[in-house]
A and B are shown apart, each in its own frame.
Chain A
Amino acid sequence: MMAFNRRDFLKIAGLSAAVGLGGQTAWELLLPGHLDAAEMPAASGLTAKRWGMALDVKKFTPAVRQACIGVCNQSHNVPKIDSKQGLKWIWEAGYEAAFPDLEAEYVEDEIKEMPFLVMCNHCDNPPCVRVCPTKATFKRGDGIVMMDMHRCIGCRFCMAACPYGSRSFNFHDPRKFLPDPAPNKDYPTRTKGVVEKCTFCTERLAVGKLPYCVEASQGAMLFGDMSDAGSAPRKALRTRYSIRRNAALGTNPQVYYLI
């Protein structure tokens, strides 16, 4: 609301009256003041105090996992780059990679063999936000750790800080690896030189929809307000044993894995 308000208009009106400007001239000058506009969230948007997620790991089939990854990449114009300079928003990781601190020689076979879907944990205490020198990555009021691609300077400090490898840097111009036009024209691509990651589909929540992956997971991903004891993830977590990735680091990840 900083740009448009009536007080400024009046101030300028007085000022211009003082220098003897009237009529047309004042109109030109004062146009911004006439914008008595407002900005607000969409009424249909989903809100929460702290968004979070629980993944029911055993419900995932390879097809479901691929569907989740596929829809995310497609909808967010995440290019597929097959090199160590590639980008990942949501991807599969083995048990040892996903949970290195829970290393155990003997665990349930299924768990040990199973690929887990991993993504940004939207930590309640995110190190990436702490280190960002421009507030390009920041935590929203609803707990989502968000990226402002317009502001990122590409220093990659957040990548060093993230203990989950959830962040990707656009080493390349992503459009070179995307079809033209991009798969989802309503979602921007990024430029080379900025960092990106999963955003819990803020653009979907804003219009009352659940994240793409959640929608594609056929119930394997439970998404909801972690501060609401009645939310889907909270209900599941009350009855099921869960683990989190590298919780010992104190980042308080908001993505739970139901075992």
Chain B
Amino acid sequence: MLEKALQGEPRYWGWLVLLLVGIGAGFGAYSVQYQQGLSITGMSRDVSWGFYIANFTFLVGVAASAVMLVLPYYLHHYKTFGRITILGEFLAIAAVTMCILFIIADLGKPQRVNNVLLHPTPNSVLFWDMIVLNVYLILNLVIGWTILGAERKELPPPKWVKPLIYLSIPWAVSIHTVTAFLYAGLPGRGFWLTAILAPRFLASAFAAGPAVLILLAMLVRKLTKFDAGKEAIQTLAKIVTYGIILHIFFFFLEVFTVAYSQIPSHLTHLKYLYFGYHGHGGLVPFMWTALFCGFTAITLLVVPQWRKNEGLLGIAAVLTFICTWIDKGMGMISGGFVPNPLHEVTEYAPTGLEMLVTLGVYCVGALVLTVLYKVAITVKEYEELGGAAPAPH
């Protein structure tokens, strides 16, 4: 089926070339990093994880969100999602691919990455994260590809995928839970040391992922003959509504616990993020922007007339994306490291090269997504429309 990705209009090829340019730039920046070490990043002794891990964390959420399509469709036989489940699964593949690339980009010694397998260490959450992410990638690849292949042949999918699909549902939850455990189990990092971190991650994931899917579905409808359908998009919108509300709600649970208890090692991080701490407040405007976007999105989404207006829905989806991306992509990691356990403040901002590497990884993800969507949509288009070229008139 991959050959479908090799046929396309100039617009399609142009987009691929653009992505390849981005990938090239990212690769170039990474070569510099490979030569110079992570010194080219904005990371430091005190903020030892930065943009790469932040984006990794965000994308794990996007990947996990595929379950929001898989679960209603396969567990509750919600037929409306039948047409777009594959879009969710393929988005997950692209997202996990980016996750893995971000981890590799973040390693000081990528050439030793085999060591994680050669010296398996069950007491390390990172070891489990490696396992859940790779298995999730394989699960989605196998399930998505097999079901699409069966659809293309108009045959029922083979029986063995059923158990894999059921497995993929808790597995999606597991990837984000285990990723939250990377942070939530560390002594001395008060910002992360909270049981609600995993639920928070999941809530923001179920807001961000479906929001991305809504935007992708709208884009696909615009660019191709494949229409996800109004109902499917509206159901996604409802999921986003609940997701973003829960995201904000969980955030306030955290705020209450920290602010009411007034324990400094927990409180100072929030202070730093939202008001600045010891004169450092680089993230303050972003964090308020995120909150503003979150509230605006909620407003747009809870009012049914507004939600049903696809223009406003699109805006709400974008706002949701911005809100959750700032939350995880900027606040979550830096917020945990600043201030450090010694209550010293070292601020973090990504460097240009770091952002270029990040761009490259996003371009790889977009390339994977484009190729997979191209395949899926070509198959769907044929299935629904017969695939004949349009009349020349």
Contact A93 B342 (CB under 8 A): yes
With most chain A CB atoms within 10 A of its CB, the pick from B41, B127, B264 is: B127
Which A residues between 23 and 60 are near B, CB-CB below 8 angstroms? none
Which residues of the partner chain B approach A249 to less than 8 Å between Cβ atoms? 187-188
Residue among B45, B123, B187, B341 making CB contact with A86, cutoff 8 Å: B45
Answer whether residue B265 sits at the interface, using C-beta atoms and an 8 A cutoff: yes
B interface majority secondary structure: loop
* Chain A residues with a Cβ closer than 8 Å to the other chain, count: 50
What is A's interface to B at a CB cutoff of 8 Å? 83-88, 93, 96-98, 100-101, 103, 127, 130-136, 151-157, 159-165, 168-173, 191-195, 246, 249-251
Which residues of the partner chain B approach A101 to less than 8 Å between Cβ atoms? 265
Which residues of the partner chain B approach A154 to less than 8 Å between Cβ atoms? 38, 107-109, 112
Contact B108 A152 (CB under 8 A): yes
Report Cα–Cα, A250/B37, bound state, in Å.
34
Residue among B46, B109, B116, B123 making CB contact with A165, cutoff 8 Å: B46
A interface majority secondary structure: loop
Contact A160 B48 (CB under 8 A): yes
For the complex with contacts A97-B343, A171-B37, A171-B43, 12 further pairs of A-B residues with Cβ separation under 8 Å are A131-B185, A131-B186, A133-B121, A153-B109, A153-B113, A154-B107, A156-B106, A160-B189, A171-B41, A172-B37, A192-B38, A193-B107
Answer whether residue B334 sits at the interface, using C-beta atoms and an 8 A cutoff: no
Residue among B39, B103, B110, B112 making CB contact with A85, cutoff 8 Å: B39
A174 and chain B: residue at smallest CB distance: B37
Contact B119 A135 (CB under 8 A): yes
Contact A88 B45 (CB under 8 A): yes
Which residues of the partner chain B approach A86 to less than 8 Å between Cβ atoms? 45
A-B contact pairs, 8 of them (CB 8 A): A100-B341, A130-B123, A133-B127, A134-B119, A153-B108, A161-B187, A162-B188, A249-B187
Contact B115 A153 (CB under 8 A): yes
If A88-B45, A127-B187 touch, does A152 touch B119 (CB 8 Å cutoff)?
A: no
For this complex, into which size category does the number of interface residues on chain B fall? 35 or more
Contact B126 A157 (CB under 8 A): yes
Residue among A83, A85, A133, A171 making CB contact with B126, cutoff 8 Å: A133
Contact B109 A127 (CB under 8 A): no
Contact A161 B38 (CB under 8 A): no
Answer whether residue B215 sits at the interface, using C-beta atoms and an 8 A cutoff: no
A173 and chain B: residue at smallest CB distance: B37
Which residues of the partner chain A approach B108 to less than 8 Å between Cβ atoms? 152-156, 169-170, 192-195
Report Cα–Cα, A146/B103, bound state, in Å.
24
With most chain A CB atoms within 10 A of its CB, the pick from B46, B112, B182 is: B112
B127 and chain A: residue at smallest CB distance: A133
- For B184-202 the 0/1 string (1 means CB < 8 A from A) is 0111110000000000000
Answer whether residue B74 sits at the interface, using C-beta atoms and an 8 A cutoff: no
Report Cα–Cα, A172/B33, bound state, in Å.
10
Contact A157 B182 (CB under 8 A): yes
Contact A193 B38 (CB under 8 A): yes
A243 CB to nearest chain B CB (Å): 15
Which B residues between 350 and 367 are near A, CB-CB below 8 angstroms? none
Answer whether residue B239 sits at the interface, using C-beta atoms and an 8 A cutoff: no
Report Cα–Cα, A249/B190, bound state, in Å.
11
B60 CB to nearest chain A CB (Å): 16
